[in-house]
A and B are shown apart, each in its own frame.
Chain A
């Protein structure tokens, strides 16, 4: 099997601008999504994920322009998430040039949306985002619960059951974020990743907690993830995508080499 493990930088977009520091030496405007996406493409990013954090719903349409502009100049898969709640929203993003969309809260409110969306646009476009937190007391060993709204609202849903349910309903991929690890730079929740990968046979993306290149390696090797997503280590210039790939490649992970 020679499919490569993917490295995905994730960008927060607010009102059409990239927020959080993006440090490239030769970039004029770090807030311009096209410039940032181009730079990540040049470094060898395998995909780019945009998370629309625009609060006001009246400004929601700006993400469509962002996707349109980026997709006209950057030719790698683009995934877009944030505030998507209907097949209509999904179609609008795909028509603008997105390749995949991620859904979290809307799937929990209405799991049928995943089946509907998957039938309408194909499961390869539908990524279900799972935000999971460890439960304090679990009689049968470790278990995780699904959260929404960036980890603020608990749902009572078991993460592993939810992952299987979403696969059955037609999710093409799962984006798994550990709410315990997110922002800590202590590495992915490897047990969570491994547990989900033992349950499903669709690709999974590990997210939440990356602080070092070794964390990326662990997510793939120990967590069995097909792709790893990170934000801050790339944005703040701690490591480049190229460095990440060189590191993984040296440790025997099959990655797409774009720098020979």
Chain B
């Protein structure tokens, strides 16, 4: 039995992530926690999040979770979801500029609607992820599978070899990245029906 910690830093509603994780890992212990000790103690860590970058970073510092997140992201399977992906980057343009955790080098940028490619913001709905590299997280997931997205900002990592999935919304952006034991996804696997459940299952199996 594995212990899977879902990091709760007060920034989002974690009930969907918790329910989906329990669904794919019925024999594991799933804990929603802000305790550094419990996170350290877990075998795998899920780092979700919603909301604005600045509030997220403030919450992370308030709860003394920055070092724990950095440490755990080096030591064990670690999955960032949505805002939990964005704050892994160095810096976000959101809230007139917010320094983030700098686990991946690169910026978080806002979608822009242009005359030639008019897009609505937030990017809300089901969109395709094109696989860019092989990775165990893609087990049994077809190329160009649909995931559910809700976000207004997207990541632009400097090291493009970390990009394992891309999505087109106006322009093409990096929707899934991975390096060593870290995987991070902009979409919401917990809301992406069978494809999303397979993705979470693959993470649990890593």
Contacts and interface: CB of A to CB of B under 8 A. Distances in A.
Given A72-B23, A122-B50, A203 B16 contact: no
B170 A1 contact: yes
A41 B146 CA distance: 14
B129 to A, nearest CB: 10
A95 interface: yes
B135 interface: no
A134 to B, nearest CB: 25
A76 B127 CA distance: 13
Given A75-B191, A94-B13, A122-B51, A3 B19 contact: no
Given A2-B127, A124-B150, A201-B113, A76 B191 contact: yes
A1 B50 contact: no
A115 B196 CA distance: 31
A31 interface: no
Interface string B33-67: 00000000000000000111000000000000000
11 contacts: A1-B119, A2-B167, A3-B149, A4-B126, A46-B126, A71-B16, A124-B50, A172-B122, A202-B121, A202-B122, A227-B125
Interface residues of A, number: 32
Interface string A188-222: 00000000000001110000000000000000000
B95 interface: no
Count chain B CB atoms within 10 A of each CB in A227, A256, A258 and give the residue with the most.
Answer: A256
Contacts of A72: 19, 22-23
B68 interface: no
B190 interface: yes
B125 A124 contact: no
A143 interface: no
A34 B149 CA distance: 23
Given A94-B13, A258-B193, A71 B19 contact: yes
A172 B124 contact: yes
Interface residues of B, number: 39
A258 B196 CA distance: 13
Interface in A28-45: 41
A226 B125 CA distance: 9
Given A97-B19, A124-B50, A76 B125 contact: no
B168 A1 contact: yes
Interface of A: 1-6, 41, 46, 71-73, 75-77, 94-97, 99, 121-124, 172-173, 201-203, 226-227, 256, 258
B169 interface: yes
Contacts of B126: 3-4, 6, 46, 256
Contacts of B15: 71, 94-97
B193 A75 contact: yes
Contacts of B104: none
A201 B125 contact: no
Given A122-B51, A172-B124, A75 B190 contact: yes
Nearest to A94: B13
Count chain A CB atoms within 10 A of each CB in B23, B122, B197 and give the residue with the most.
Answer: B122
A1 B169 contact: yes
A200 B72 CA distance: 42
B132 interface: no
A75 B13 contact: no
Given A3-B126, A75-B16, 5 more contacts: A2-B167, A72-B22, A94-B15, A173-B124, A226-B120
Nearest to A2: B168
B189 to A, nearest CB: 9
The 9 closest A-B pairs by CB, nearest first: A94-B13, A124-B150, A256-B126, A3-B127, A256-B146, A4-B126, A2-B168, A3-B125, A72-B19
A21 B13 CA distance: 33
B124 A124 contact: yes
